[in-house]
Amino acid sequence: MGKDTKGLRHAREVEEHLGWLDGFTSAALGVLAVASGIYTYLGVRGLLDDGGALSLFAAVAYSAAVSTGIFVFWSYLMRLVPAMRTAATRLWLVLAMALGSGAIIAMSSWLNAAALAGSAAVEQHLARTVQDYQASLERTHEITLQAQALRLDVGRTRQGFEDLSQQEAVGGLSGLAGRGAVFRVLTQKSDELAALEELIGQQEPLVTAAFGEGNAILSRMRALTVASGPVDERAVEFSEESVRLAGVITELRQLSVAPLVDRAARDLAQSVVLPRLDAGNAGGQAAQQATITSLLEVLAQRAETLRAAAAEVRALEPAAEVVYTPISTADAVIRYAGNFVPSWAGAIAIDLLPAVLVLIVAVAQAAVRAGREPASPADAMTVAELRAAVVALREVEAAELGEAVRLAGGDLQDGPEDQREPPAPPRAAAE
């Protein structure tokens, strides 16, 4: 009996707390629903491009629907889930709560996150784009510089032909001193290579200037990612700078001389203008022809070496194509969700916090039932209930007594005169 009494006291204490909390629970749900609706409105306004009255009305209507849905949904669950007594009904309502929570996240939470962290997410997108452009610019510049390094290979080949021409001038190759046919072939190829080397040298300041311009644009783009002011306006200027930078990267890619060196290497051995053999006798002409034939073989070897060097540069993995794509705040918070976990947690918590209240009330109601069910109804009555019962019992007894008196009075009036009781004498006469 003592255990039942203790359970009843606990149940009554919990009921008192629940009664006090129930007085402002609806107001708290309303505040949470309105706050979620406000942030949903801000998120919707960020998605709508049109700033007219219709867009404003649509955003207000959507946020009002979200607030109403959240309030009604959690009000239903807070009343019904604690009242369920069987495991099956509880399970079905928990499944309904999970389904409704998913719907709330889909229609509200991501928009709340867009309102909380939308600008920061767009800035994150701009920063990532700057990094991609920087990587592309540096990679393109690196490949172009490696192409510029082919100038050394061209210079060594040119120097080799010039040395051979000097040897031929004193008769070291064909045995015929002077500037004859062999000398002219060597001079012809050395002049071609010298022109190619000069052309490569002329590209170097252009490459440096393009790379410097690209870095300057990158600096302005970085400044835009952290500048003050609306992110939409900065995004427009950022887009303009990205177009300029894309043009610089394309220009830098076109300044690569690797294709030019490859074509020059092909022409080095294939386009040879053979001069007339100018030796004075047949033996000298035969020596010149043999020397020219050997030179053509050397030309083919040197050309293949240059082609291989140019092919290595052209085989390098090119820089990735980077294109800046404008993004909305809602899309940005979804794409970079991992960087804004606190904002996502706050956006979801403001919508799903009532689920914790539902569980709390369900546990409290279960405790109340557990405290009341083992006790008898008489033990479960409170003092107020007992007083009300006593008052009700007295009213019933009074009504029954009045009815009995009325019936008794009627019987006396309807009986014979000799059986009627004489009227009581006045109190004064009796005294």
Determine the pLDDT at residue 171. Answer: 60
- Are both 135 and 274 inside the same structural domain? yes
Residues 86-122: tens digit of each pLDDT:
888 889 999 999 999 999 988 888 888 888 888 888 8
Q: Is residue 428 part of a domain?
A: no
Nearest C-alpha neighbor of 269 from the set 176, 169, 157: 157
Given this model, what pLDDT does residue 95 score? 93
Query: Do 39 and 10 belong to one domain?
Result: yes
pLDDT of residue 269: 65
Same domain, 31 and 156: no
Mean pLDDT lowest among 46-55, 235-244, 251-260, 360-369: 46-55
Tell me whether residue 427 is in a domain: no
Residue 397 placed within a domain: yes
Residues 251 and 277 in one domain: yes
**Within a domain: residue 47?**
yes
Q: What angle (nearest 5°) sits at the alpha carbon of residue 38, between those of residues 33 and 39?
A: 100
Indicate whether 109 and 133 sit together in one domain: no
Q: Same domain for 84 and 191?
A: no
Q: Which domain holds residue 350?
A: 2-119+339-376
Domain co-membership, 80 together with 186:
no
Same domain, 124 and 111: no
Q: How far is CA 58 from CA 15, 33, 40, 51, 69, in A?
A: 44, 18, 12, 11, 16
Residue 214 sits in the same domain as residue 315: yes
Q: Is residue 334 part of a domain?
A: no
Retrieve residue 105's tokens. 């996240």
Q: What is the pLDDT of residues 286-316, one digit of tens each?
A: 666 666 667 767 777 777 888 888 888 888 8
Q: Residue 292: which of 167, 181, 157, 187 has the closest Cα?
A: 181
pTM of the model: 0.67
**Considering its fold, how many domains does the chain have in total?**
3
Q: Is residue 227 part of a domain?
A: yes
Query: Is the residue at 52 inside a domain?
Result: yes
High-pLDDT (> 70) share of the chain, %: 76
At 234-253, the pLDDT tens digits run 889 999 999 999 999 999 99
Q: How far apart are CA 242 and CA 325, in angstroms?
A: 10
Indicate whether 81 and 215 sit together in one domain: no
Scan for tokens 């849905």, then name that residue: 69
Does residue 49 sit in the same domain as residue 108?
A: yes
Answer whether residue 115 is part of any domain.
Answer: yes
Residues 287 and 139 grouped into a single domain: yes
